[in-house]
A and B are shown apart, each in its own frame.
Chain A
Amino acid sequence: MSAPPNPGERRLPSLGDAQGRFASPCGAFSPAAQSRQRIRHVGLVWLVLAAWPFVAGNDYVLSLGIFFFINLLLIAGLNLVMGYGGQISLCQAGFFGLGAYVSGSLAVKYGVSPLLGIVAALAGTALAALVIGLPALRLRGNYLAMATLGFNAILSVLFNELIPLTGGPNGLAGIPPITVAGYALDTAGRFFWLAWLAGAVLMVLLAMLLASRAGRALRAVSGSEVAAASMGVSPFRSKLAAFMFSAACAGLAGALYAHFNQYASPETFNFSASVLLVVMVALGGWGHYWGPLFGAAVFTAVPELLRQFQDAEFLVFGVSMLVVLLFLPAGIAGIAQRLRERGAGRAARRAV
């Protein structure tokens, strides 16, 4: 199956004459081909999701669509660290809050433009993740879980106590909407498209990352740290980069949340929210590319459906976590995949 030579297309060391060209001999198994297929599917799914504003009916339902994309940023970012990197992070809600307060406070207290605020939120959360990850990820084992648990608690205290910046327990009010080229995204109908776009961009970036050297290295580290290191992967650097990227996803989610909601208060970002996000990663499908979509859908819809029962969602999420851990280790995405495979099998049998 060797490809014909095609010199001049290559700067890397030679494979020998018979293998000169880089055409993939692996067809559909090629990670690059899988990644392209995922991106095509993201395109299709996002086309369908684009119908939401037209079927939503009112601003409340429309805003649920926005929260779905914000939750997707949180959960997909966390899935990279947990599902693909094998590390537990208990601070995703903390980073969410950090992003919200960095961008929100800069806008409210210093009049900084929200677009610059988003950049600051991305940088601030990635930097915070670097500071926590540097010591915690040097050690093998789950020190990151402990360090992030502590950090979320620290952030909650800061959100509550730094009253001049954050407004304290009363929350930060009067956060201005994002303005793009003089056009204020101040209604749900307008903001929806920004959130929609952010979700699509993240899914595309993740599809490309997972089929790249860096993504492969991260998955390898969670498979066998010893083997990954023996192949030349630095487990420390790989995990640190994933952790920083995931924190930046939460930072972006936080900034979008703050400017859409125009208000932020500390309890949104506490430790129990972090735990729920971990549950959503597991429920959607740990280490499954499409898992966060399901996780975000559940995380957005269930609390709304159970609104009249105070805190009932905690019970529902707790029970569903147990069910996933005991019976469905691949989560909702795993069920969906199994159904699709069964359907494909039946179609193949019918064709024969």
Chain B
Amino acid sequence: MATLELVDVSVTFGGLRAVDALSFSVADGSIKGIIGPNGAGKTTLFNAISGIVRPQAGRVSLAGRDMTSMPPHARAALGLSRTFQNLQLFSQMSVLENAMLGVHTRLRSGWPSGLFGLARHEEQFAEAVAYQKLQMLGLEGRAGELASDLGFADAKLLEIARALASEPRLLLLDEPIAGVPLSDQDRIARIIRDVNAAGVTIVLVEHNMRMVMNLCHDILVMNHGACLAEGTPSSVARNNEVVAAYLGSEATHA
């Protein structure tokens, strides 16, 4: 069964069709890569999947459950988790607390038990999970610092730790290694592979072709909000249209 399924999803901003009648599905336990030139609509697509923007048309479902009209927090409760390309950390909270936010959907306590300190077990659980994820990304030594004190690369790692702390069913990663030093890139790729091996379905937006080709089971190429090609890494790499749209635009950038 498909973990994620999109049917004819369209998102428009004024006159601009950022996502144009896009349909695709992500198989259980797979890693799907989404590539395309800047402005192809990749981040808008992520926002439509996670509920931050409402598509004007189409349907988005997670594990067979239609979540098109659900707000983002309800989608998170269904097992969806994501990172942000432009970093959305809670800057006035500690690194540990940021990661603890990732555990939010796995806890139940509310205001009354919060005020009266009645959820010790849950808190200890949240701390332990958060710390474990920080260790996984090599951030445990900075647990007590403010998130705003992290450098760009560490902030990216913290976004991943926070997203993993929810033990998601589906993980959306928006350019996880952009701006990260080479030494950390391989580690992040390894973590993504391990997380996937543990059963998490992943959708990955990334410009680093080597990473996409190595990690992804299949790839969707977007251009102008629509699907240009879809298939295995090798078939996509051989596709002439893709080479023209993608390498062509790369060439003009260089």
Contact = CB atoms under 8 A, between A and B. Distances in A.
B11 interface: no
Given A214-B109, A232-B104, A30 B127 contact: yes
B160 interface: no
A230 interface: yes
Given A213-B122, A213-B126, A227 B89 contact: yes
Contact of B93 (A9, A212, A220, A232): A220
A229 B52 contact: yes
A29 B139 CA distance: 13
Nearest to B123: A32
A227 B90 CA distance: 8
A267 B81 CA distance: 50
Given A205-B115, A231-B104, A223 B92 contact: yes
A255 B73 CA distance: 37
Interface string A288-306: 0000000000000000000
A221 B124 CA distance: 22
Contact of A230 (B50, B111, B127, B131): B50
Chain B interface, DSSP helix/strand/loop, else mixed: helix
Interface stretch (A18-26, A127-135, A333-341): A18-26
A155 interface: no
A271 to B, nearest CB: 29
Contact of A19 (B76, B77, B115, B132): B132
A297 to B, nearest CB: 24
B131 to A, nearest CB: 5
Contact of B90 (A28, A29, A215, A223): A223
A24 B115 contact: no
A26 B122 CA distance: 15
Contacts of B24: none
Interface in B174-232: none
Contacts of A219: 90, 92-93, 97
A211 interface: yes
A209 interface: yes
A208 interface: yes
A230 B76 contact: yes
Interface string B112-149: 01111101111111111101100100001001100000
A213 B96 contact: no
Nearest to A31: B97
B64 interface: no
A208 B115 contact: yes
Nearest to B134: A26
Contacts of B93: 216, 219-220, 223
A26 B127 contact: yes
Given A226-B52, A231-B162, A232-B104, A213 B123 contact: yes
A168 to B, nearest CB: 37
Given A22-B121, A32-B124, A213 B52 contact: no
A10 interface: yes
A29 B143 contact: yes
B101 A205 contact: no
Contacts of B135: 1
Nearest to A28: B144
B125 A214 contact: no
Majority DSSP secondary structure for residues of A touching B: helix
A98 B33 CA distance: 57
A32 B127 contact: yes
A37 B125 CA distance: 20
Interface residues of B, number: 55
A241 interface: yes
Contacts of A11: 121
Contacts of A19: 128, 132
Q: Which of B82, B90, B102, B140 is most buried by chain A, counting CB atoms within 10 A of its CB?
A: B90
A271 B254 CA distance: 60
B52 A29 contact: no
A180 to B, nearest CB: 22
B166 interface: yes
Interface in B63-109: 71-73, 76-77, 81-82, 84, 88-94, 96-97, 100-102, 104-107, 109
A230 B121 contact: no
A287 to B, nearest CB: 7
A123 interface: no
B110 interface: yes
B206 to A, nearest CB: 19
Given A209-B115, A231-B166, A232-B104, A24 B128 contact: yes
A1 B89 CA distance: 26
A15 interface: yes
Interface of B: 50-52, 71-73, 76-77, 81-82, 84, 88-94, 96-97, 100-102, 104-107, 109-111, 113-117, 119-129, 131-132, 135, 140, 143-144, 162, 166-167
10 contacts: A25-B128, A32-B124, A212-B119, A227-B88, A229-B72, A231-B76, A232-B76, A232-B77, A232-B104, A232-B166
Given A214-B114, A219-B97, A230-B76, 12 more contacts: A22-B127, A25-B140, A205-B116, A209-B114, A212-B115, A213-B114, A214-B115, A230-B52, A231-B166, A232-B166, A233-B101, A234-B73
